[in-house]
Structure 1
Amino acid sequence: MCEVLLSNFEEIFPKIEEDFRNATFIALDAEFSGGINPSQEINKPSLFDNGRERYQKLRQCLGGYIVLQIGLTSFRFCRQGNAYVSTTYNFHVFPRSFFSLDNSFSCQASSLEFLSRHNFDFNKFVYEGLPYLSQSQESHLRQELCEGHLFQDLERTVTLDDERVLQEECSRVCEWVASAVLGDSLLLGRENLQRRGKSLVYMLHKELRKRFLSVWTFPEKGLVLVKKVSADERSDLVDLERKSSSLEHDVIKSMLGFSRVFKLLTELGKPLVGHNLLLDLALMYAQFHEPLPCIILNCEMQILKEHFMKQVGTLTVLSTAFTSVVVHFVLDVIVLSFPWQYRMSASAGIPLYHLTKEGPSRHLLWTLVAKQRKPSTCLDGPDPKSTRPRLLHIRAKGSKVIDLSEVTELFAQFGAVDAKLYNKQRALVAVGNYRIAREALHMFKDHKDLEVKLYSTLHHSPLARTLLWGGLTLSAVSCVTALVMFLRRISSH
């Protein structure tokens, strides 16, 4: 496993890019600062949920949390050995500040406790974590660098300690330049600039170039290299900097950090494999691209257009790219286009494969959603029929009132169920499979207090019954009216 840190990212990135470009698929796993809180009943997944409701719950749960660590493993198929060759990269990710750019994020105690139990290195997360920028942050930073707004209101963005370091480095250059000859160079920041923000390094470049007209500065592995130059050479360097904005480009590049890896993944469109990718992909999209939208486009899960060209949960490896694709906020994704699919259960580092033969599917993209009313959704065609049993309709006999907690407790003995009130005397129970439905119907067949039947819209929905009786009444009135008119015509003749 290769650990990717702030100190070695630039050196390792070319190898990361090469491995990902040559990969057959890429496995992903992530650790977060927080997640779904089981104590919040309103956000718990339910068998009554549809896709829109599940997405809204997810969006509300993830607000403010960030990805702290990401594991990515590239798998390249070796035909000669009929095996996969894998390379694993482990990324720590930490939001760095830069002048007005100063992120905040939320933490959940249980998540941090989980990380500490598994020896998560919080110091490495802070000191060596890669920075990142969302799309809007990158655009904002580019604009500020281009228009020179960063040096406005410096007293609010620069600490006294940073100002002290800036003055110390400028004093060093002042002493050095007095005796330096053309071509001499001085490397600054070995002690002062290490482990400090990019903003201080950027300010030092700008300040030295402005204050000393006989030198020019160059970025050098996060430090500042000062070189004594002639007037003509400096003039050429100033013109070159004005045209290329190389210093600003280096700042943007260094601040992008893991966002460069994220963009590489979306550019390549390689199959992404992971266990329950729902949270991973949602958080990554919100953190490295843009906030999750408030609504679902076209009443489907199409909210991450042109990102993550293919993705799969623990069931299937994707096979074919397509032109307008999305990341689906579901627990698992299936794409079947080849007659072969790889069944796998994997994390980013420990994959297990089971090869099975499958027939090609007519549709490219199916989404499997755990604990939802429809367990699967087809995003490029009609939805398949639900494989879940019908809802159970519970009615309290006599004049008794339904106690929802009592109903839930009674049905929990059969397995995972969800219940909700229909009215004071009725409730609906959603079950995950037909076994539970059969056992419940059998056990409550002669119950003294409750009547349990399969839910029927025609028999149990007040609206449907009202419409039905209204339709029958209207039809009867129409028939009587027609009969009266017919009899009148006969009598007139």
Structure 2
Amino acid sequence: MEVTRKNFIEELENVKRDLSKCCFVGFDAEFTALLTGECFKHRLFDTSEDRYNKIKNEVSNMIMTQVGLTMFEYDRDTDSYTATGYTFHLCPQVVADIDQSFIFQASTLNFLCQHKFDFNKFTYEGLPYLSKVEAVKVQTYLENGLLLKDHARTLSMDEERQLQQYCSQVSKWLIQNEEDTIYLDVESPVLRYLTHMEIRSRFPKVLTTDSLGNSKKVLVYRHESVAGANNAPESQLQENLMKHLLGFSQVIALLETSKKPIVGHNIFLDTILLHNQFIGPLPQEYTKFKQNIHKTFPFLFDTKYISYEMSRKLSYREVWKSNNLQDLYEFFSEGKCKQLRKGVNHIKLSREFKDNQTYHEAGWDSYCSGYCFVRLGHWIASENRGSYTTVGPTETLTALAPYCNKINVIRGAITYMSFAENDPPRHRPPLLHVKALAQRTINIGQVASALAGFGNIDVKPHGRRTALVAAVTHQTVENILKNFRHSKEYRISKYSVYRHSAAGTVVVWSGALITGSLMLYFLHKQLK
């Protein structure tokens, strides 16, 4: 189900119902840009904190244009799951002095075009949203009567003309017509609120309220003695406006309060954008970012990380092509997993996706993530119990509990980021220290070329004549050390903080000086 401004209000009730009945939620998002360039490459040196620090100042220019949510409901009688998917189209908004902005990379535009992204739905029908920080600011503006003044300054000429026309209509009606009421058609919720406030200000005796039959109409009463006259409280008008401005953020709030497990695939960047777009600006401290996300979404699962760990149980011939989402989904949906050839739970869609459904459409990908989650959980639960029969959601979530809040880190020094506890220690082989013997200034490109044949590595400068090398496997490290043992170009050894870092050298020499000074002191004392 595609959700835009046109059907959001009615679908929001369906989302509430489906969320209350489901046992977990599949999640996916599509972005306006990807982090590219040399400084954003995934490097074997990086911890998750390093990655966060690299990108936290850049993602403020990126937004989610689509968010996919699929609710997986379990039927105990049939031991099956029913999946109900939603694709939410989002678009930034301007309200008062909040002017949300973003960038579209040309490469991302090409990618979205290849996957039939609907830019009209994004621009014309995309849902508004506010972060928690922005929502507090707008609410304060409303309560202090500042929104009217601030937003009036940002009205377009057409909006100003419309507002003036509504006031002129009311003025003519009061003078030339004897009818007790008049209806004004006001499409924009923001302009509707401004119309209420402006009419009440200009014509103190009239009463205004939203029409019961059509929320887009403003109903104006000539005076309070008219039968059924109702002046909507300003607090109610503010609440109606806030609901519109919050838009998709209301769905994020439902996810937060429901505490239902959320399942995505490779969601490191997604969590950062979720914070920036729906919680508030990213904190400088990595630990604070993790705390905020964990408080909002306490049960996160990443099928990229789970599948990476589970792939170790399979032989080379059994394992999936790769653990990207499409290959993983097709591995399970086409029955290629030998461990799940009997006793699997049936998974069906409550409604089919559109005919031209493709990967990288948020709703479909959120379904695929949830589908893989069920199959991975079934596999682990069956191994734990020693038999392959259908598995309920409670047993599935229990089996997957060790993977909860562990988010995959692509090609880094650690395999996952943990939202619930401290990140794991570095799992890569020890770093190598390279010193150029034949050059006064080390050439990083030449070092990388010389070592690339031994395995997957990364190289970074460590000084004028030195560099550090990170490798994927211990075998690569041993091969490099063995082959460069007698090299006349480079001296390569395992990196030592004490031998190869400036801070370590200072510590060693300071220790030596202190020790030497103490020895001289005691020797002098004895001689004396």
Q: Secondary structure at the match of 2:72?
A: strand
Matched, 1:134 2:131: yes
- Provide the residue aligned with 1:24 in structure 2: 23
The reply on whether 1:356 has 2:380 as its aligned counterpart is yes
User: SS at 1:402's partner residue?
Assistant: coil
Q: In the alignment, which residue of structure 2 is the partner of 1:188? A: 184
Q: CA deviation at 1:33?
A: 1.4
Between Structure 1 and Structure 2, how many residues are aligned?
449
Q: CA deviation at 1:112?
A: 1.7
Aligned partner letter, 1:349 = Y
Gaps spanning 5+ residues in structure 1: where?
318-330, 332-341, 489-493
Whose helix proportion is higher, 1 or 2? 2
Query: Which of 197, 203, 207 is the matching residue for 2:194?
Result: 203
Q: Please list every run of 5 or more consecutive structure 2 residues that lacks an aligned counterpart in the other structure.
A: 308-323, 325-343, 345-358, 385-398
Shift of 1:418: 1.7
State the alpha-carbon separation in 1 of the partners of residues 452 and 525 from structure 2. Answer: 60
Q: Within 2, Cα distance between the matches of 1:167 and 1:398?
A: 80
Specify the alignment match of 1:402 in structure 2: 442
CA distance in 2, matches of 1:147, 1:301: 34
Of 39, 64, 67, the match for 1:67: 64
| SS class of match (1:28) | strand
Aligned CA distance change for structure 1 residues 389 and 161 (closer, same or farther; 3 Å): same
Alignment of 1:187-336 (within 5 A): 187-189=183-185, 193-194=186-187, 197-209=188-200, 210-211=202-203, 213=205, 216-219=208-211, 221-226=214-219, 228=221, 231-232=224-225, 237-238=230-231, 241=233, 245-297=235-287, 301-304=290-293, 306-314=295-303, 315-316=305-306
Q: How far apart are residue 229 of structure 1 and its match?
A: 6.1
Question: Aligned-pair distance for 1:130?
Answer: 0.6
The AA in structure 2 aligned to 1:224 is K
**2 CA distance for matches of 1:214 and 1:401?**
82
Distance change >3 Å, CA 311–CA 234, structure 1 → 2? farther
For 1:259, give the aligned amino acid: S
1:285-312 CA deviation, whole Å, 9 max, x = no partner? 21122110122247x8434352111112
The AA in structure 2 aligned to 1:103 is: Q
Pairing of 1:355-434 with structure 2 (within 5 A) = 355-357=379-381, 366=406, 368-376=408-416, 384-397=424-437, 401-434=441-474
Secondary structure class of the residue paired with 1:231: coil
Q: Report if the CA contact (8 A) 1:28-1:272 is conserved.
A: yes
Distance 1:153 1:475 in 2: 69
Q: Which amino acid aligns with 1:279?
A: L
Amino acid at match of 1:204: T
Distance in 2 between the 1:127 and 1:419 partners? 47
Distance apart, 1:478 and its partner CA? 4.0
Are the structure 2 counterparts of residues 233 and 410 from structure 1 closer, same or farther at C-alpha, using a change threshold of 3 Å?
A: farther
Normalization by structure 1: what TM-score? 0.79
Matched residue SS, 2:100: coil
Instruction: Deviation per CA, 1:419-472: give whole Å up to 9, x if none.
Output: 122233322101122233233334434434223332233544454355445535
Secondary structure in 2 matching 1:374:
coil
Match of 1:14 in 2: 13
Query: Contact 1:375–1:388 at 8 Å: present in 2 too?
Result: no
Aligned to 2:4: 5
- Cα distance in 1 for partners of 2:168, 2:422 equals 71
- Output the CA distance in 1 between the equivalents of 2:178 and 2:151: 31
Q: Identity rate of aligned residues, in percent? A: 30
Query: Matched residue of 1:88: which SS?
Result: strand
CA deviation vs aligned residue, 1:312-335 (integer Å, no higher than 9, x gap): 212349xxxxxxxxxxxxx9xxxx
1:444 alignment counterpart = 484
RMSD over aligned CA atoms reads: 3.5
Q: Higher relative contact order at CA 8 Å, sep ≥6: structure 1 or structure 2? A: 2
Cα distance change on mapping 1:98 and 1:361 into 2, 3 Å: closer
For normalisation by structure 2, the TM-score amounts to 0.75
Cα gap change, 1:230 to 1:455, in 2 (>3 Å)? closer
Does 2:93 correspond to 1:96? yes
Shift of 1:278: 1.5
